[in-house]
Amino acid sequence: MSWEAVIGLEVHVQLATRSKIFSGASTAFGAEPNSQACAVDLGLPGVLPVVNGEAVRMAVKFGLAIGAEIAPFSVFDRKNYFYPDLPKGYQISQFAHPIVGRGELAVAMPDGSEKIVGITRAHLEEDAGKSVHDAYAGMTGIDLNRAGTPLLEVVSEPDIRTPEEAAAYFRQMHTLVRYLGICDGNLAEGSMRCDANVSVRERGAAEFGVRTEIKNINSFRFVERAIAYEIERQIDVLESGGRIVRETRLYDHERDETRSMRTKEESDDYRYFPDPDLLPVHIDQALLEAVREELPELPAARRHRYVETLGLSAYDAGWLTQEPETAAYFEAVVAAGGDAKLSANWVMGELSAALNRDERAITDSPVTPDQLAGLIARLQDDTLSSRTAKTLFEGLWAGEGEVDEIIEARGLKQVSDTGELKAIVERVVADNPGQVEQFRAGKDKVLGFFVGQVMKATQGKANPKQVNELLQEALKP
Amino acid sequence: MQPFTPLAELARGLRDREFSSRELTRSFLDRIRDHSATLNCFITVDEDRALAQADAADQRLAEGSATALTGIPIAHKDVFCTAGQRTTCGSRMLANFQAPYDATAVARLDAAGAVTLGKTNMDEFAMGSSNENSHFGPVANPWDPARVPGGSSGGSAAAVAAGLTPLATGTDTGGSIRQPAAFCGVTGIKPTYGRVSRYGMVAFASSLDQGGVFAASAAEAAVALAVMSGFDPLDSTSADQVDPWLNGLGDSHLAAPAEAPVIGLPRQYFEGLQDGGAALEDARRTLEEAGCRFVDVDLPHTDAAIPAYYIIAGAEASTNLSRYDGVRFGHRCENPRSLEDLYRRSRTEGFGAEVKRRILTGTYALSVGYFDAYYLKAQKLRRLIQNDFLAAFGSVDLILAPTTPGTAFPQGDLTDDPVAMYQQDIFTTPASLAGLPAMSVPCGFADGLPLGLQLIGPHFGERAVLETAALYQQHTDWHTRHPEAYA
């Protein structure tokens, strides 16, 4: 039987506000436990939440970026449950009336194609605190620094069909929120987490199968692996005559498997109702227009522009636009005169490799866009060969100076003087009579040997095209 | 120093240096001490703190930077957080809780130079109509110590009635200022929802809770209300609305209303009346003679107020009180065996019976399968009740009604019958559900016990309510009567 997976993702985006969603406490990561929890975050008696306007604005920005309808009035609800790291005994969230309605995301797939994934809704909510289970023997510590951190929960339609698409969707979401500047995108610090709803069905079936929810996945790779595992598991269960139980599962990346956490049958009644401490959030036309003005060029539009006006491949366009900083760098190289395709090759190749090797951010690159554009210009005017260009790049990376200074200092200029080259070529031909014999006997491959010899003699600085021409001339019988 | 000296006299005496705030404060602290055993009005009295505030007030008075309240003693219902002092809410759960912040209303009164005598007794978490639900014991009614003072702000009402403080704050969720004011023969106002910040007021039912004040007269209540009220960025439901009249009151006497108001008499409020019909009739005549005109109005959904109120208030309370879980503050059981055990025993031990009843009913009303039939339906009724008032205020400026069905009842009479107890709030819950300003003023006696009349105004219509109450008090002296034992 042929199976098809149906996947929907819920992505929790931690909004990059300076203070919390309902209090003035700082949201900075990594502080001493409970040093960033004020009376509101602690849920002390009598204190009240006041919504952070910046969080609302960021949610609106996200909504506009996915082409969604922004609710003129959205409502904060209380989601009631007891847990030690939930100080008030309820989480303030949006249930019946979320701020962002239906929209869609154009996802760049690794093969350069694009997939449109529907977004059902996005709503604002506060994060809970953190339970620390390993610090005190027999006891659990509670750190409420994270309590009240603003989250935007983005719920996708079940439009995703493969683990690869799921990872690409998560990555695209990451790209989008970083473009919008509403999230720092730091997965290691939990700034983005996702829950995956996964079911399988016979290919072509109209109905969805029973789904499971994999909770709290925090890396692109794990999304793909967790879902891949879960699909396999579900198919195995169904093919061996079992049935899927609706449940919450956890992904254990060390064992690369998902495990049952709790079944939905025993799930809580959250007793949602509108939080009487907060008024409905009103978004007026003026705010919508103001936020719309702030929208940057979005990843999909930029991707399309790179293909259509810069002539890049869809793959390159996708690669370059993934991080706004990379795209900005690339565009600076092009703006400084760099040929678009060569600029793309150098950013994706040499520069990216060097950045990875030295673990540097592109915004912290020792080679500036202007220098890289200068390097490309010297390649194009035949001053450099691709080999000497790499040497130049190393010089630039090491901070040895500007492009032409390094070419001069390191003697990287291609030998294009015909007289000088001709003399070298003639000497090489004279020194290797055996190979000359072979070439003349029709063994064309030997030409490579001669090119190599000439290059060696010029320390790689000879213009390969000229070398070829001169050798052909000199080797003529 | 004479108890029951009018506020304006006290303010003048302080300004003219006839006596100091320290002397005035000392005299009230002494009265509180003398009567604490019989009345049990106070949960906390902090003499050092009060005297320190009095000294600061004396300095302000000497410097000439005093306000109408500088140096005037006041008591706060123990639902208002006061930094550095315990705020118990009448509960074992918070018996040792100290807030690191002041309620906004308290902070504003402090800033005006008022002197906090202490924190008054109340029904636990403001849930009750008799002040019998306090972890710190019941409060006695100064007119008859065998009777209840009303609730939940019973301590504040009794303290003002017994002359233990000239002013006391209270909160009113379904009648918790007006009903004890009526039972104790004092003036009490619950302003429009949103008028006084709820920040630092321990929440019972967030959409209904509203801070207010008890005093000897409408004029005196207005002076305190002017200081307490106003927009507060820390409370999202606080009204961002300036009232120049209220803010400009200072210690000036309330003028009579510029135009005598048209007052509505809602038929539904007079049908279930046990005591006080004659007193209300007298009040009507007095106001008519003073120029007011009376018309009948219809508030057809009045009957729905009690069930709607107890569902909505319970629902909100059930989640507002979830934070008392023994984890971070408040009562925590000894040696919890598990998380479940910690929750269960901390809450079982920390809350009294009435609080548990409301948490259970409220939880029920919000549960899947019951939400529509209870919570949603109650909200619809609330809307109908609001619409009743809006329609009535289309033709009248104010509504006059009894505050309570009868006079103060004997302690213990209704403790075994929660529904009968809830019925005490029949005339006060409608204005709460509609968020309207309403006050109770003394209007006579039945069998030696005070009676109250209620004036209800449109949203932000405190001026009409207070001025009409002042007009009534210019023509009557019920508000100047004091229980003999305390005169």
Give the domains, in start order, of chain B with CATH numbers.
7-259+445-450+466-486 (3.90.1300.10)
Calculate how close chain A gets to B114, using CA atoms only, in Å.
Answer: 22
Mean pLDDT of all residues in A395-412 = 93
Catalytic residues of B: 77, 152, 176
Give the pLDDT mean for A206-235.
Answer: 95
Has residue A184 got a pLDDT over 90?
yes
The whole-angstrom distance between B207's CA and the closest CA on chain A is: 5
Residue B107 touches partner A, C-beta closer than 8 Å: no
User: Is the pLDDT at A406 greater than 70, yes or no?
Assistant: yes
Looking at the predicted structure, is the pLDDT value of residue B276 above 90? no
Banded pLDDT at A174 (limits 50, 70, 90): very high
Q: Nearest 10 degrees: CA dihedral of B86, B91, B96, B102?
A: -30
Average pLDDT, chain A: 93
Calculate helix-pair angle for A446-457, A418-431, nearest 10 degrees.
120
pLDDT tens digits, one per residue of A195-207: 999 999 999 899 9
pLDDT surpassing 90 at residue B434: yes
Residues of A in contact with B328 (CB under 8 A): 42-43, 87, 142
Question: B303: exposed, middle or buried (C-beta count within 10 Å: 0-12, 13-18, 19+)?
Answer: middle
**Chain A CB within 8 Å of residue B126 CB:** no
Query: Are the C-beta atoms of A1 and A239 separated by less than 8 Å?
Result: yes
pLDDT reported for residue A30: 87
Q: What per-residue confidence (pLDDT) applies to A221?
A: 94
pLDDT of residue A424: 86
Interchain CB contact of B23 with A (< 8 Å): no
Chain B residue with CA closest to A273: the answer is: B366
The angle formed by the CA atoms of residues A116, A121 and A123, to the nearest 5 degrees, is: 135
pLDDT given at position A439: 86
So what's the pLDDT on residue B405?
Answer: 94
* Cβ pairs A/B, distance under 8 A: 99
A47 vs A132, higher pLDDT: A47
Prediction ipTM score: 0.96
pLDDT at B487: 85
Our CA-based measurement puts residue B252 at a distance from the nearest CA of chain A, in whole angstroms, of 33
The average pLDDT across B231-249 equals: 90
Decide if pLDDT at B252 tops 70. no
pLDDT, one tens digit per residue, over A301-345 is 999 999 999 999 999 999 999 999 999 999 999 999 999 999 999
Among the partner-chain residues B80, B205, B339, the one whose CB lies closest to the CB of A84 is B339
Inter-chain CB proximity B237 and A277 less than 8 Å: yes
Q: Do B199 and A78 touch (CB under 8 A)?
A: no
Neighbours of A301 (CB within 10 A): 12
Smallest Cα–Cα separation from B404: which of B125, B129, B146? B129
Q: Is the confidence at residue A13, as pLDDT, over 70?
A: yes
Give residue A462's pLDDT: 80
In the block, residue with structure tokens 């949201």: A27
Q: Which residues are bridge partners to B210 per DSSP? A: B172
Q: Which of residues 268-297 of B touch A (CB under 8 A)?
A: none
- Span A169-173, mean pLDDT? 98
pLDDT for the residue A397: 97
CA distance B317 to chain A (A): 11
Cα Rg, chain A, nearest whole Å: 30
Indicate the burial class of A449 (C-beta count within 10 angstroms; 0-12, 13-18, 19 or more).
middle
Helix axes B462-475, B218-228, angle to 10 degrees: 160
Share of chain A above pLDDT 70, in %: 98
Angle between helices A163-180 and A324-335 (to 10 degrees): 70
- Measured between beta carbons, which residues in chain A are less than 8 angstroms from residue B207? 276
Confidence of residue B6 (pLDDT cuts 50, 70, 90): very high
Of B99, B205, B343, Cβ closest to residue A46: B99
Classify residue B141 by its DSSP letter: B
DSSP B480: G
pLDDT score, position A263: 65
Count Cβ atoms below 10 Å from residue B387 Cβ, excluding itself: 14
Of A49, A89, A142, the CB nearest to B322: A89
Span B183-217, pLDDT tens digits: 999 999 999 999 999 999 999 999 999 999 999 99
Q: In Å, what is the CA distance from A255 to each residue of A163, A188, A197, A213, A230?
A: 18, 19, 20, 18, 13
- For residue range A346-370, what is the model confidence (pLDDT) as tens digits? 999 999 999 999 999 999 999 999 9
The model's confidence at residue A224, banded by pLDDT at 50, 70 and 90, is: very high
> What was the pLDDT predicted at A148?
97
Q: What is the distance in angstroms between the Cα of B467 and the nearest Cα belonging to chain A? A: 31
- Tell me what the mean pLDDT of segment B310-330 comes to: 97
Higher pLDDT, A104 or A461: A104
Report, as an integer, the average pLDDT of B291-314. Answer: 97
pLDDT band (50, 70, 90) for residue A266: low
Using the predicted structure, report yes or no on whether residue A418 has a pLDDT greater than 60: yes
Separation CA B308–CA B378 (nearest Å) = 4
pTM strictly above 0.90: yes
- Residues A105-160 have pLDDT tens digits of 999 998 889 999 999 999 999 999 999 888 888 888 999 999 999 999 999 999 99
Residues in chain A within 8 Å Cβ distance of B343: 82
Q: What is the mean pLDDT of residues B332-348?
A: 96
pLDDT value at residue A265: 52
- Is A277 close to B203, i.e. CB distance below 8 A? yes
> Looking at residue B251, what is its pLDDT?
62
Residue B206 to residue A277, Cβ atoms within 8 A: yes
Task: Give residue ranges of A with CB < 8 Å to any B CB.
Answer: 39, 42-51, 78, 80, 82, 84, 87-90, 142, 269, 271, 273, 275-279
Contact B124, B89 (CB under 8 A): yes
Question: In whole angstroms, how far apart are CA B221 and each of A384, B6, B213, B434?
Answer: 90, 11, 6, 22
Distance, in Å, from the CA atom of B117 to the CA atom of A429, rounded to the nearest integer, reads: 111
Nearest CB partner across the interface for A46, out of B200, B325, B363: B200
